[in-house]
């Protein structure tokens, strides 16, 4: 299992990528959105 710091780092990276102007292809944006949600859910589950 990955540690919290690694998961947070990936989550923040994805959040930045989603806000980037280069990320305008809808399919790619959707994929990152789902992955971002999954990482957020993982962080919440581990700290409840």
Contact of 39 with 7, CB cutoff 8 Å = yes
Note down the domain range covering 23: 4-46
Question: What pLDDT is recorded for position 8?
Answer: 85
Question: How many other CB atoms are there within 10 angstroms of residue 42's CB atom?
Answer: 15
Question: pLDDT digits over 13-48, tens only?
Answer: 888 877 777 666 777 778 778 888 888 877 777 665
Residue 22 in tokens: 């280069």
Report the pLDDT averaged over residues 4-16: 84
Rounded-to-integer distance, Cα 29 and Cα 35, Å: 10
Question: What pLDDT is recorded for position 6?
Answer: 85
Report the number of distinct structural domains present in the chain: 1
Question: Does the reported pTM lie above 0.95?
Answer: no
């Amino acid at each position: 299992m990955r540690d919290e710091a690694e998961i947070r780092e990936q989550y923040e990276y994805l959040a930045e990528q989603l806000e980037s102007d280069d990320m305008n292809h809808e399919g790619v944006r959707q994929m990152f959105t789902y992955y971002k949600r999954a990482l957020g859910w993982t962080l919440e589950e581990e700290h409840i």
